[in-house]
């Protein structure tokens, strides 16, 4: 018998959760007073933060639809957060009814909520894990049950890699995740930056320090490094509204104000 290496953390509702604050920015009500207090302070620092969040969300949806068009039938969505209408499994299963989705989040409330929503959906599930433990995610029984990693997979890392500080080696973590994917898989990343609005976003990142998952903003070059060794899909790493918009009018006048670098890469 082995000694358990993991003691579950009790859930701490006295600390703001970025997952639930993100839900608030998107206009959702799946959040608590402590989350809204943080979310409003962040809005005070970045007044159009709701739009920033929505633009990021839109990118995720376009990326999923793109991957479905490319033939992807299974997704691993890490940092999935609070599920809302139009989540990955809804987009995917609308086109391919048995498309598989495994949601992963570190926030136990987000995961519990996801599980409530997904009860009865045998092709989608949610597990509580930490992106910093890629092997545990990949070897998780739920992952093993739903995903066949010998088939191309869509790995979605929307608004989550910036929760990994440099000392936790985000590039190493990404490499370990990518190593598990077979050729022809896709990786989507959206990542906060202070390149365009250093002061406002800098303050927002500073505020995130009081949440359960503080943010590390990165430059375009740093975000591009996450795609090293992948075939970077056009138009490369760009501001979130600029990645394959549905129509020119969706881009808006100042895409750089959306403060997220996004990109999709393909494993070769």
Partner 1 sequence: MTGHRDAGSPEDRYRHGLDTFARAWAKALHRAHYVPISAAERYRIVRSLAERLVGGLFAEPPDPTAGIGVGKDLVAAGFASPDALGRTIAILNTRLAADLGLPADAAMPIRLTALLEGLAAGFTAAVHDRSLDAQDAVRLAALAAQTRAEQALRANEARFRHLATHDAWTDLPNRTLFVERLDRVLATGPPSRRVGMCCINLDEFATVNDILGHDVGDRLLAATADRLRALAEPAGHLVARFDSDQFAILIEGTTCAEDAVKVADQALNALAEPFHIDNTEIPVTASAGVAERSVGSGDTAELIRATQIALHWAKADGKARWALFAHERSAADAERYRLSAAMPAALRHGEFALAYQPLVDLRDGHIAGVEALARWHHPRLGVLGAGQFIELAEHTGLIVPLGHRLLEQACQQASTWQQDGYGLYVNVNIAVRQLHQTGLVASVAQILDRTGLAPYRLQLEVTEHAVIELTDPIRATLAALVELGVRIVIDDFGTGYANLANLRTLPLRGLKLDGSFTRPAPRIGKPPPPAVRQPDDTAFLATVVALGHTLGLTVTAEGIETASQARRMRAAGCDTGQGWYFGRPASPGEITRRVADERR
Q: Which is nearer to partner 1, 232 or 251 (CB)?
A: 251
Cis before residue 235, ω within 30 degrees of 0? Answer: yes
Those residues with Cβ within 8 angstroms of residue 151's Cβ, 6 or more apart along the chain or in another chain? 73, 74, 182
Residue of 36, 61, 220, 225 interacting with partner 1 (CB under 8 A): 61
Q: Which residue, 31 or 208, is less far from partner 1 as judged by CB?
A: 31
The answer to the question of residue 109 lying near partner 1 (CB under 8 A) is: yes
**Binding of partner 1 at residue 3 (CB under 8 A)?**
yes
Contact call for residues 237 and 223 (beta carbons, < 8 A):
yes
- Coil, helix or strand at residue 40: helix
Cβ atoms of 162 and 191 closer than 8 Å: yes
Cβ at position 247, least distance to partner 1 in Å: 5
Which of positions 230-259 make contact with partner 1 (CB under 8 A)?
246-247, 249-250
Instruction: Give me 74's structure tokens.
Output: 């299974």
Q: Please list the alpha-helical segments (H only) found in the chain.
A: 18-25, 33-45, 49-69, 88-95, 108-118, 134-139, 141-146, 170-179, 198-207, 220-225
Which is it for strands 238-239 and 260-266: parallel, antiparallel or unpaired? antiparallel
Number of residues that bind partner 1 (CB under 8 A): 42
Judging by DSSP bridges, how do beta strands 186-192 and 238-239 pair with one another? unpaired
Nearest distance from C-beta of residue 60 to partner 1, angstroms: 8
Site for partner 1 in 127-156 (CB under 8 A): none
Draw the binding track, 84-103, toward partner 1 (x: CB under 8 A; -: no contact).
Answer: xxxx----------------
Which is nearer to partner 1, 85 or 268 (by Cβ)?
85
Q: Which is nearer to partner 1, 77 or 230 (CB)?
A: 77
User: In the Cβ-directed half-sphere of 218, how many Cα atoms lie within 13 Å?
Assistant: 24
* Position 110 contacts partner 1 (CB under 8 A): yes
Find out whether 190 and 60 touch, Cβ atoms under 8 Å.
yes
Q: How many CA atoms lie within 13 A of 93 on its CB side?
A: 16
Smallest distance from partner 1 to CB 128, Å: 8
Figure out which of the listed residues 45, 96, 108, 184 binds partner 1, where binding follows CB under 8 A.
Answer: 108
CB of 184 to partner 1, least distance (A): 26
Span 6-45, contacts to partner 1 by CB under 8 A: 7-11, 13, 20, 26-32
Residues that bind partner 1 (CB under 8 A): 1, 3-4, 7-11, 13, 20, 26-32, 50-51, 54-55, 57-58, 61-62, 82, 84-87, 108-113, 115-116, 246-247, 249-250
């Amino acid at each position: 018998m082995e000694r358990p290496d993991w003691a579950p953390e009790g859930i701490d509702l006295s600390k703001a959760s970025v997952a639930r604050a993100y839900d608030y920015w998107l206009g959702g009500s799946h959040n608590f007073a402590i989350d809204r207090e943080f979310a409003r302070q962040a809005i005070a620092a970045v007044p159009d933060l709701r739009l920033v969040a929505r633009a990021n969300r839109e990118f995720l949806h376009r990326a999923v639809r793109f991957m479905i068009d490319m033939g992807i039938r299974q997704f691993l969505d890490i940092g999935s957060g609070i599920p809302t209408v139009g989540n990955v499994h809804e987009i995917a299963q609308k086109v391919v009814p048995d498309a598989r989705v495994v949601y992963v989040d570190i926030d136990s409330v987000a995961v519990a909520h996801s599980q409530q929503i997904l009860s009865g959906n045998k092709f989608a599930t949610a597990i509580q894990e930490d992106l910093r433990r890629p092997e545990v995610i990949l070897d998780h029984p739920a992952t093993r049950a739903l995903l066949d990693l010998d088939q191309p997979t869509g790995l979605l890392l929307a608004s989550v890699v910036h929760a990994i500080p440099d000392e936790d080696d985000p590039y190493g973590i990404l490499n370990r995740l990518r190593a598990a994917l077979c050729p022809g898989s896709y990786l989507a990343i959206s990542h906060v930056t202070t390149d365009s609005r250093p002061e406002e976003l800098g303050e927002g990142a500073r505020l995130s320090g009081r949440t359960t998952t503080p943010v590390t903003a990165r430059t375009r070059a740093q975000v591009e490094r996450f795609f090293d060794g992948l075939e970077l899909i056009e138009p490369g790493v760009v501001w979130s509204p600029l990645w394959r918009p549905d129509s020119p009018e969706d881009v808006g006048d100042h895409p750089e104000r959306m403060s997220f670098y996004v990109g999709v890469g393909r494993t070769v």
